[in-house]
Amino acid sequence: MRHILRSQQFDRPFLDKLFQRAGEHRQRFAKPRRRRSPIYSLQGRILVNLFWEPSTRTRLSFALAGLHIGMKVETTENAEEFSSTVKGGSLEDEIHVVSSYHPDVIVIRHKSEGAAERAAAVSQVPIINAGDGAGEHPTQALTDLCTVLWEKGYLDGLRVAIGGDLAKGRTVHSLVRSLVNCCEDPKFAFVSPPSLHLKEDTKAYLRERGVCFSETESMREALPSADVVYWTRVQLERYPVEERQQYEDLTRQYAIGIKELELMRDDAVLMHPLPRNEEVSPDVDADPRAAYFRQAEYGMYVRMALLEWVLEE
């Protein structure tokens, strides 16, 4: 079974093949609707989305990705409230039962780290991790790397500045690992206040592989040399209520606006997994380097290609 659980499982040949196929999907959508031939590569196959945490992009891009290639889609959003886990059922029991209804693939988002692996251990069908607490978000990492490739034209030798919540931002943990595994010689500058420093296990991952990285509180220091600027939101929901105000204030200190944009290279690309709060000002949306809305769109093409790979006969 082809589960997608962690970004460590990806390698470059996998990425090359996936992004090639995602590119074909993107090209198809570049045509006007009447000239677009429908594809039914996964005709009649069934995707179940099980989301215990809120989501717009990941949930809908998976659903639409499936629908666009002929799948049928069933979604439980807000499973925290509306699934039977509210009555005390365990994640394992839920997956056991749902997978026994013979869907072809289950996409799961959950608030606990390791949830997707627990699900995979009891599932009869492939599991795709759409975010497990502060752990990982491997399909976002695929989206992010595909965006870098399509926006910049290459994936090797990148200087990447990553800012925001590096402690609890799962997209960061997955992106860092997949850059290290799949791309030649990435260099990282991590920008955050000390309280949001990169999670220790991700740092250990870098050290063990001899990857060059720096940590700074200064955007002025990190932005000018970066090919890719990847900004993230403080994951307020993962902090105790009494600490949230302090983190919200930090968001404002580490915000990218017109002034920060001026520090960036002309050929840099500015990315964000979305949703954003105040850490990226809408004033920069019109700048051609601001790629986050394109990034969100590319995510659907990547997920179309990914579903095809997961369910390849």
Catalytic residue set: 57-58, 87, 109, 137
Closest distance between ligand NCD and the C-beta of residue 108, in Å? 13
Closest distance between ligand NCD and the C-beta of residue 199, in Å? 14
Task: Please report, as residue ranges, which positions from 220 to 279 form the binding site for ligand NCD (by CB under 6 A).
Answer: 232-233, 273-274
Note whether 42 binds ligand NCD by CB under 6 A.
no
For residues 166 and 214, give the distance between their C-alpha atoms in angstroms, rounded to a whole number.
Answer: 13
CB closer to ligand NCD out of 58 and 181: 58
B/e letters for 233-262, b = 16+ CB within 10 Å, e = fewer, are bbbbebbeeeeeeebeebbeebbbeeebbe
**HSE of 252, CA atoms in CB hemisphere, 13 A:** 5
CB closer to ligand NCD out of 274 and 300: 274
What residues does 129 pair with on adjacent strands? 108
- Count of residues engaged in binding ligand NCD, rule: CB under 6 A: 11
Task: Please report, as residue ranges, which positions from 51 to 80 form the binding site for ligand NCD (by CB under 6 A).
Answer: 57-58
Note whether 170 binds ligand NCD by CB under 6 A.
yes
Task: Kindly tell me which residue out of 83, 140, 192, 202 binds ligand NCD, with binding defined by CB under 6 A.
Answer: 140
Task: Kindly tell me which residue out of 7, 123, 129, 171 binds ligand NCD, with binding defined by CB under 6 A.
Answer: 171
Closest distance between ligand NCD and the C-beta of residue 163, in Å? 13
Note whether 137 binds ligand NCD by CB under 6 A.
yes
- In order, the DSSP letters of 89-135 are --HHHHHHHHHHT--SEEEEEESSTTHHHHHHHH-SS-EEEEEETTS
Closest distance between ligand NCD and the C-beta of residue 281, in Å? 17
Q: Are 227 and 152 in contact (CB under 8 A)?
A: yes
Please report, for residues 117, 118, 173, 245, the alpha-carbon distance to residue 132 in angstroms, rounded to integers and kept in the order given.
Answer: 9, 11, 11, 24
Q: Which residues bind ligand NCD (CB under 6 A)?
A: 57-58, 131, 137, 140, 170-171, 232-233, 273-274
